[in-house]
Amino acid sequence: MVEQLDQTSELLMYLAGELPHRQSMALEKRLAADSALARELETLRELQSDFDAQMQALDGKRIPGQAMAVARISRAMRMHGVGQEADETLAPRRVLHMPAWAYPIAAAAAVVLIYVGWWAHQPAAHVTSVVQLPVSANSAAPVKTSSDQEQVMFAELAESFRNHNPTQRRSLDSLSHAESELATLASPTRESLDDPFINSPILDNEE
Amino acid sequence: MPVSETQSGTPAIESDESLMRRLQQGDTAAGELLVERYFQPLMRYLMRLAGNQMADELLQQTWLSVLDNAAKFDPRSAGGGFKPWLFRIATNKVNDHWRSRGRERSAKEGLQRIADDEMPHAGFRLEGTEQQLRLVKAIEQLPENQKQVLMLRYYSGMKFVEIAELLGCPLNTALGRVHKAMIRLKELMK
C-alpha cells in the first residue's frame, strides 16, 4: 500500500505498473465509470510514450570512446585498490604509541633529568649551612669569621653558586648581602683591634 | 569471467551481484566488467544532469566510490540490487557537483555564457539531428530537481517509490516532478 496519492500521481503509478494490485483494480473501476479520468490517463500515456520515444532517439547512438573510458576508470580503480591495500598494510604500524627511534631518546632524557635533579639538590645543603652561619652584628662571632680563610670560603661558595638555579641564586644574593654586611662590620672591628686606645686595659676592664 | 556455463551448456551472463561479490573479495577484473556493463546508461545519466564535460569526471568518481563502499553493498538491502545502488551513488555525486557548482556559479556564469556562444556544446556533436539537439537543450532547461527525477527514472529504471526514498521526498512530490518535467519538455519541443 503506497501513501495517499493525488489523481495524476495515481495514474502515473498505474501506467508504470507500480500501483498495488488492490489499488489498480479500484482505479480500473473508476476509469470505466469516469470518461474524464480515462481521458487524463490517455493524455499521460501519450506524454510518457512521446518522452520515451524522444529519449530513445537521442540515445540511439552509442557514446564513442567507451573502451578508452572503461580502461581509464579500471586503471583508476586498480590504483585506488592498491592505495587502499597499502594503507591497510601500514595501519598496524600506526598502533605503536611512539616511533621506534623515540625510545632511546626517551631513555637518555630520563637519565639527564635524574642527573639534573640530583645536581640541583646537592648545593642546597651547603646553602642551608652557610645561611645558618652567625652573621649578626651584635654577636662577637663576626670578629672570628672574618678571617682570611672564611673570606676564601665565601668566595668559593659564591663561585659555586654562580650559574645555579633561581632559588640558590636568591640564597647567593642573601649570602652576598651577609658577606658585605660582615665586611662592613669586620673593618671597624679590625681597626678597633689595631687601635691602641681600644686595646687599653681600661676598655678590658669595662668589658 | 563475464559469463558462466549453465547446466544446459548455454552461456549465462554473470549477475551484477555476483560480480560485486567478486569485487568485495578484491577481484578488480569484476569491477571492470561492471564498469563496462553500465558505461552507456550511467554516462548518459551523468551527461544529462551535469553536462558532457563533467560527466566523465563524475563517472570516475562514482566508480571509485563503488570500490570504497563495495564492502557495504548488500543486495538484500540495496533496494532492488546493484543498479539502483549504483545510480544512488551517481546521484549523490551529481548532488555534490551541483552544490559545489552553486558556489562557483556566480563567478563563472559570465565566462560560461561567452563560451556557449563561441562553441557548440560537446554533446551536440554526438546528438546529431535538429530534433535531438532541441531535446538536449530542453532537458538542460528543466529545473534540477525535475530533471533529476526524470533522468533517474529513465536511465536507472528505479521504481518511483525507490526514487522518492533516494531523493528524500514524498512519493507525490517525486511523481509531480516527473509530470511537470514531461509537460515542460513537450512545451519546449513544440
Would you say residue A63 lies in a domain?
Answer: no
Would you say residue A95 lies in a domain?
Answer: no
Q: Which residue has the higher pLDDT, B116 or A63?
A: A63
Q: How does pLDDT run across B1-48, given as a tens digit for each residue? A: 444 444 555 567 889 999 999 988 888 889 899 999 999 999 999 999
Q: Check residue A172 and give its pLDDT.
A: 58
Would you say residue A104 lies in a domain?
Answer: no
Stated pTM of the model: 0.61
Would you say residue B136 lies in a domain?
Answer: yes
What integer is the mean pLDDT of B157-186? 94
Would you say residue A49 lies in a domain?
Answer: yes
Which of A16, A42, A57 corresponds to the end of one domain? Answer: A57
Grid cell, residue B170, equals 514524498
The partner residue sitting opposite A50, judged by closest CB among B59, B178, B186, is B186
Tell me whether residues B186 and A47 touch, CB distance under 8 A.
Answer: yes
Grid cell, residue B18, equals 555476483
Would you say residue A165 lies in a domain?
Answer: yes
Provide DSSP, B25-51: TT-HHHHHHHHHHTHHHHHHHHHHHH-
Q: How many domains does chain A have?
A: 2
Q: Check residue A78 and give its pLDDT.
A: 83
Would you say residue A197 lies in a domain?
Answer: yes
Enclosing domain of residue A184: 122-206
DSSP H or E segment with residue B13: strand B11-13
Provide DSSP, A5-37: --HHHHHHHHHHT-S-HHHHHHHHHHHHH-HHH
Residue with cell 554516462: B43
Q: How many domains does chain B have?
A: 1
Number of H helices, E strands in chain B: 10, 2
For residue B180, give Cα distances in angstroms to A47, A99, A190, B110. Answer: 11, 63, 117, 29
CATH number at residue B51: 1.10.1740.10
Would you say residue B125 lies in a domain?
Answer: yes
Q: How does pLDDT run across A55-96, given as a tens digit for each residue? A: 999 888 888 888 888 888 888 888 887 666 666 555 555 555
- The separation between CA A4 and the C-alpha centre of its own chain, rounded to angstroms, equals 56
Task: Tell me the count of A-B CB pairs closer than 8 A.
Answer: 109
Q: Check residue B111 and give its pLDDT.
A: 47
The rounded distance, in Å, linking the Cα atoms of A80 and A69 is 16
For residue A85, give Cα distances in angstroms to A94, B26, B63, B68, B69. Answer: 15, 10, 17, 12, 14
Nearest 10 degrees: Cα torsion A85, A91, A93, A98: 150
Residue A152 pLDDT level (bands cut at 50, 70, 90): confident
With beta carbons less than 8 A apart as the criterion, state whether A154 and A179 touch.
Answer: yes
State whether residue B175 sits within 8 Å of chain A by CB. yes
Would you say residue A201 lies in a domain?
Answer: yes
Residue A74: its chain B contacts at CB < 8 A? 28, 31-32, 35
Residue A6: its chain B contacts at CB < 8 A? 172, 176
Residue A196 pLDDT level (bands cut at 50, 70, 90): very low
What integer is the mean pLDDT of B91-111? 75
Would you say residue B8 lies in a domain?
Answer: no
Q: Check residue B86 and give its pLDDT.
A: 94
With beta carbons less than 8 A apart as the criterion, state whether B171 and B160 touch.
Answer: yes
Range of weakest confidence among A107-111, A140-144, A184-188, B105-109: A140-144
Grid cell, residue B17, equals 551481484
Which of A41, A57, A73 corresponds to the end of one domain? Answer: A57
Would you say residue B2 lies in a domain?
Answer: no
Enclosing domain of residue B45: 13-189
Tell me whether residues B60 and A16 touch, CB distance under 8 A.
Answer: no
Residue with cell 528524500: B168
Q: How does pLDDT run across A24-58, given as a tens digit for each residue? A: 999 999 999 999 999 999 999 999 999 999 999 98
> Which phi and psi (to 5°) does residue B5 adopt?
-90, 135
